[in-house]
Structure formats: structure tokens, C-alpha cells
Amino acid sequence: MYEVTVEDTFAAGHYLRNYKGKCENPHGHNYKVRVTLQGRELDHAGLLLDFKDLKVVMKPVVDYLDHQMMNDIPPFNEVNPSAENIARYFYDECNKFLAGQTSGRVRVKDVTIWETDTTTATYYE
Ligand SMILES: Nc1nc2c(c(=O)[nH]1)N=C([C@H](O)[C@H](O)COP(=O)(O)OP(=O)(O)OP(=O)(O)O)CN2
Ligand SMILES: [Zn+2]
């Protein structure tokens, strides 16, 4: 099995619903996202997926969230914008692109979101 990983960053605001504590109030984070792909077969160039292509897959998702109040935009106007749910959002959005682009050869293995330097949440299936 092969894995390929790319990281990116974005800044966004949020608050947590159904949460008692300071994070129920609007505030922001400089998020880091790490997307790891997996697959058993390489392409003719010996790549699972070009790092460049994974960056292209991640960019629309990063751009959609960057400098937004996440609670105001789908799906986070309904789903709480916790690090866990943001990780799942990246997982689902990146997998949608990859399924078509690689005919199922490459899929997302896991996504980790850093809210701070010391706090992360990871989603995988
Ligand atoms: N499992 C999760 N726990 C928390 C999440 C989350 O997404 N998943 N989110 C928050 C808040 O967003 C909060 O902003 C982060 O809190 P915290 O890590 O406490 O950040 P601080 O920098 O304020 O840390 P201090 O140690 O309190 O200074 C909370 N929990
Ligand atoms: Zn927060």
C-alpha cells in the first residue's frame, strides 16, 4: 500500500453550538489540514498521485473555508464546525474529486485538522 500526504493552512472563525465554555463564543483559528491518500497501484510515472494534483484537489475546499465565519456557510450552518466535523468535510469533499479523477485507484485514507499547535482531530473510515 502507498500513501501520499499534503498539508495546507487556512484561517477561519467559528463557535461551537451545544457547548458550554469559551468556545461557544465566536473566535478564530489558524487551522492546518493534512490529507493522506492511499492506494495499491502507482501510475505510469510511479506516483500514487502527484503532490501537485492533491494540492489542486484540496485548494477549493481550503479556499471555501478561508477567512469565513464557518457557522454561516454550509454544511457548518447546520453541522457544528468542530475540528472533527471539519476533518470529515475535507475527507468527503476530497474523496468526491478523487473518485472521478482516478477511477477509484486512489482514495483518502485520513484527514487531520489542527486547531492549535497542540490540538488535532482526525477522520477516517
Ligand atoms: N474534540 C474537540 N474539542 C474541542 C474543539 C474541537 O473542535 N474538538 N474545539 C474547541 C474550541 O474550538 C476551542 O477554540 C479550542 O479550545 P482550546 O484547545 O481550549 O484552545 P485554547 O487555545 O483556548 O486553549 P487553552 O488551553 O484553553 O488556552 C474546544 N474543544
Ligand atoms: Zn475554536
User: Which CATH number characterizes residue 87's domain?
Assistant: 3.30.479.10
Residue 29 assigned ligand-binding role: yes
112 Cβ closer than 6 Å to some ligand 1 atom: no
Q: Which domain holds residue 41?
A: 2-124
Number of domains in the chain: 1
pTM of the model: 0.96
Atom of ligand 1 nearest to the CA of 86: 7
**pLDDT per position as a tens digit, 18-72:** 999 999 999 999 999 999 999 999 999 999 999 999 999 999 999 999 999 999 9
pLDDT grade for 88, boundaries at 50, 70 and 90: very high
- Does residue 71 have its Cβ closer than 6 Å to ligand 1? no
Query: Is 121 near ligand 1, meaning CB less than 6 Å away?
Result: yes
Cα 87 to chain center, whole Å? 5
Beta strand spans in 2-106 (E): 2-14, 27-39
pLDDT at 100 over 90: no
| Residue nearest (by alpha carbon) to ligand 1 atom 9 | 82
ipTM attached to this prediction = 0.89
pLDDT at 7 over 90: yes
